[in-house]
Amino acid sequence: MAPRDGETLSEAEPTHRQPAQNWTALPPHELVNLVRRSPGTAGPARTARLLIALSRPRTCTPSLTIYALGYGIVAGEVHWQFWLGAFLMLTTGMLANLYNVHTDLDEDSVNMPGRLGLVGEIGWRRYRTTLAIWSAAVALSSIPLGPGPLGIFLLVLAGSHQYSYRPLRLKAKPVAGLLGFALAGYGPLIFGYTVACTATGQADPPPNPDTLLWLLALITLWLVAKGLVKNVPDYDGDKRTGLRTSATVFPTRRAAALAAGTATVGVHLAAPLFTFLAHGNEGAGSLRWLLLVPAVPFAVLQAIRMTRAVGTHANSVLKQDMWFTFLFIALVLALSAPAAITAPALAATALLMVAVDALRVDSRENNLTRTTTG
């Protein structure tokens, strides 16, 4: 029996089998089975809200800023291609989160059971159909950018898909999973660079290749460190289901958090050097990259907080860390790209983060879950 609108999954079961209760208290395996059998109960408006929550656009904002960084290496002004590319990067990041939800029901039934209820409201088949349509739509939307950007974008989209899905399922491999997660950084950087080359007609020879390569190294290492941190809150569920991640290869959750924190601090310590090398031809002006040094103590603070965080508090730390992430990349962008690129990119990114927080559309929060009141 399917749940009706406003009813919990457990309430939809026959009363002799499952009395009315908070369905998140169900055993993980039973919860997964209920979600996979659910035809969906939410109307169009509720479905749209749930999809946005599950896609977690707030986590996609670093990709927008990094995309603008790649674009700003080449272009000195905003063209229409910039906005189309930014839209594609945002929606691809959201799709990557939706892919991950689709493949990770078993892990989420332990780590975030409330998220499974949102999928159950949408309906398992409807959810899969939505992913297919959304993926096709963004692929077709990239065609006006031209063959170069189109090719890069399709590779980024495919990598986002294979991070969660088989045959590659990169996230289930500790090293490959980190590199796959870092695609959220080096993918937008290269894509933005390619879009700008096409928009400005500077594709041959490629402009500022040294700047691109050094920033590419920095962004990749920075996202690898972020990937180490991101896997820590899911340690218990991933360990229980046998998923090998950069966190579960450690014997304890605390050890995984210490490793993630150490990597994060190390990358922030090295950031001024990488950016100096990226802009070394600017002479004394390259000293402005020392402005990145104050980010180090904040990285240390975040590393300590993540090491001490347990359970849902770890997700709260990750949420707060998004603002630190935004400010760090915003500073790299502001020091690297012209103001004509920096200003609209940062304004759009900050507005998106504020809007998501105000509307409280995040699947890691409990406010979206409908539960029985008795």
CA 184/CA 57 separation, integer angstroms: 13
Give yes or no for residue 14 having a pLDDT over 50.
no
CA 70/CA 89 separation, integer angstroms: 12
pLDDT of residue 123: 95
Q: Identify which of 266, 269, 187, 283 has the alpha carbon closest to the alpha carbon of residue 228.
A: 266
Tokens of 264: 């994060």
CA 289/CA 246 separation, integer angstroms: 31
- For 128, phi and psi rounded to 5 degrees? -65, -40
Contact 85, 67 (CB under 8 A): yes
Q: Average pLDDT of the chain?
A: 86
- The pLDDT tens digits for 244-283 are 999 999 999 889 989 999 999 999 999 999 988 888 666 4
Percentage of the residues of the chain whose pLDDT score is greater than 70: 86
- The pLDDT tens digits for 145-186 are 999 999 999 999 999 999 999 999 999 999 999 999 999 999
pLDDT of residue 21: 37
CB atoms within 10 A of CB 251: 9
Four-CA torsion 344, 345, 349, 350, nearest 10 degrees: -50
- The pLDDT tens digits for 272-320 are 999 888 886 664 455 788 889 999 999 888 878 877 766 556 667 777 7
Give residue for tokens 């919990």: 8
Give yes or no for residue 8 having a pLDDT over 70.
no
DSSP string, 125-178: HHHHHHHHHHHHHHHHHTGGG-HHHHHHHHHHHHHHHHHHSTTT-GGGSHHHHH
Four-CA torsion 83, 339, 147, 90, nearest 10 degrees: -40
pTM of the model: 0.88
Q: Identify which of 89, 123, 119 has the alpha carbon closest to the alpha carbon of residue 363.
A: 119
Q: How many alpha carbons fall within 13 Å on the CB side of residue 291?
A: 15
Q: What long-range pairs does 151-157 form, CB within 8 A, spacing at least 24?
A: 152/187, 152/190, 152/191, 152/194, 153/88, 153/92, 153/191, 155/187, 156/92, 156/183, 156/187, 156/188, 156/191, 157/92, 157/95
CA 340/CA 82 separation, integer angstroms: 12
R_g of the chain computed on alpha carbons: 21
